[in-house]
Amino acid sequence: MLFSNARAQEEFVSPAAKHITYVPFSMLTGGIIILRATLDDNKDSLNFVLDTGSGGISLDSATASYLGVKKVLTDKTVRGIAGVKNVEFSYNHTLHMQGISVANLDFHINNYDILTSAYGLRIDGIVGYSFLRRYIVAIDYEQMVFEVLTPGSYKYPRGGYLMKPQFTTLPMQGAFVKDAKEIFSKFYLDTGAGLCMLLNEDLVHDSALLKSKRKLYPTEAEGLGGKKSMSLTVVKEVKVGPYKFRNVPVYVFDDEFNITQYPVLGGLLGNDIMRRFNVVINYPEQQIFIKPNKRFSDSFDYSYSGLGMYLIDGAITVTDIMKKSPAEDAGFIPGDIVLGVDNDLSGNIQAYKTHLQSAGNKVKVLINRGGELIVLTMKIRSIL
């Protein structure tokens, strides 16, 4: 007998996701994830950035030449904050990480010298959508390891928040930003961006988001195509899901290459916010789960030095000094070689950049200028 109020007693459930491996990683300033991997039968260990902001997977041009991979010129283009360019491809490779080999990968070839110089670490490539779309990837920023699982039914931990971003090859998540007023927009979730938030200046202008007294500090950031001039400021609040962050440093940029397709997107959320959560990236189900970790309450970088320095031929070299900045006031000039910051003589550009995030402090910088050793004192300015 059938009853009118009968309901289905069966429901199809996909098989449970299965653990494949744990992959350790290191982390640079801003939360940039660096994983170690090898390519094909080559034994040399390579450094890759794990990047949800990449629509594929890529290999540095110098690394590609060193490894002797076959490259094919294509009419395909890649686009970033600082440029659009045609790229070569190298097809059908296998990437080996700890406990997993990912086959049938087509790498586009790009020049990552600017990232290598900025990070002080050889960047051999970027791992993005081509890898992430195949698996569930659970990132633990506390233990500095991510788990790789097969697609399937996955039980998320208690106490977090399940986001359901809009997906193309990149996840686009809605978030609230408040300063003079509160606005809502969608943003790329970009683990390859070592900052909190990047805002399209058209969004800032059209919405009158910023308080009239907010000062914009000229600065630069690195991206596809090279360095990009932009402005640094702070907003009162950023809200992602139920989680709020107050007094958040943000970069405002002229999106001349239309990467955000404004007003479709207002910018991007970077890994200086995402690293404050443990994150499950589930591309197969188009879900991203976030749960606050011990880094959640870490202070943001409110500093502004105006000093651009990069690792060039093994030397940490001053390349840019912003006008009317603490660096200009201290007397830096392009070509100065930075030998130490305060009592740190490690020669580690990541460590030096961390010292320069001490807003309000006077920092002594030892430089070599034409063979002469000079100590310059710079007072780091707060952007609050």
Domain total in the chain = 3
248 and 321 belong to one structural domain: no
Segment 199-238, tens digit of pLDDT = 999 999 999 999 999 999 998 887 666 678 899 999 999 9
Residue 358 has what pLDDT?
80
Q: What is the pLDDT of residues 135-194, one digit of tens each?
A: 999 999 999 999 999 999 999 999 999 999 998 899 999 999 999 999 999 999 999 999
By percentage, how much of the chain surpasses pLDDT 90?
82
Least confident of 132-136, 218-222, 237-241, 342-346: 218-222
> Are 172 and 265 in the same domain?
yes
Separation CA 56–CA 124 (nearest Å): 15
**Does residue 13 belong to any structural domain of this protein?**
no
- Give me the percent of the chain exceeding a pLDDT of 70: 95
Residues 193 and 267 both lie in one domain: yes
CATH number at residue 314: 2.30.42.10
Pick from 27-36, 99-108, 224-233: least confident: 224-233
219, 249: one domain = yes
Rounded Cα gap, residues 66 and 76, in angstroms: 23
CATH of the domain at 196: 2.40.70.10
Residues 142 and 44 in one domain: yes
Closest CA to 150 of 1, 56, 284, 262: 284
pLDDT of residue 224: 63
Residues 366 and 262 in one domain: no
290 lies in a domain?
no
Kindly list the distances between the CA atom of residue 123 and the CA atoms of 28, 62, 137, 243, in Å, as whole numbers in the listed order.
12, 10, 21, 32
Position 33 in a domain: yes
pLDDT higher than threshold 80 for residue 6:
no
Q: Quick check: is 296 in a domain? A: no
Residues 174 and 233 in one domain: yes
pLDDT score for 229: 87
Pair (98, 26) in one structural domain: yes
What per-residue confidence (pLDDT) applies to 383? 87
Residues 50/41, Cβ–Cβ less than 8 Å: no
**Mean per-residue pLDDT of the chain:** 93
pLDDT of residue 125: 97
Same domain for 201 and 130: no
**Pick from 374, 296, 279: which is nearest to 336 by CA?**
374
Q: What is the pLDDT of residue 228?
A: 83
Residue 138 shares a structural domain with residue 172: no
Query: What secondary structure does DSSP assign to 271-338, as a single string?
Result: HHHHTTEEEEEEGGGTEEEEEE-TTTTPPP--EE--EEEEEETTEEEEEEE-TTSHHHHHT--TTPEE
Structural domain harbouring 269:
163-273
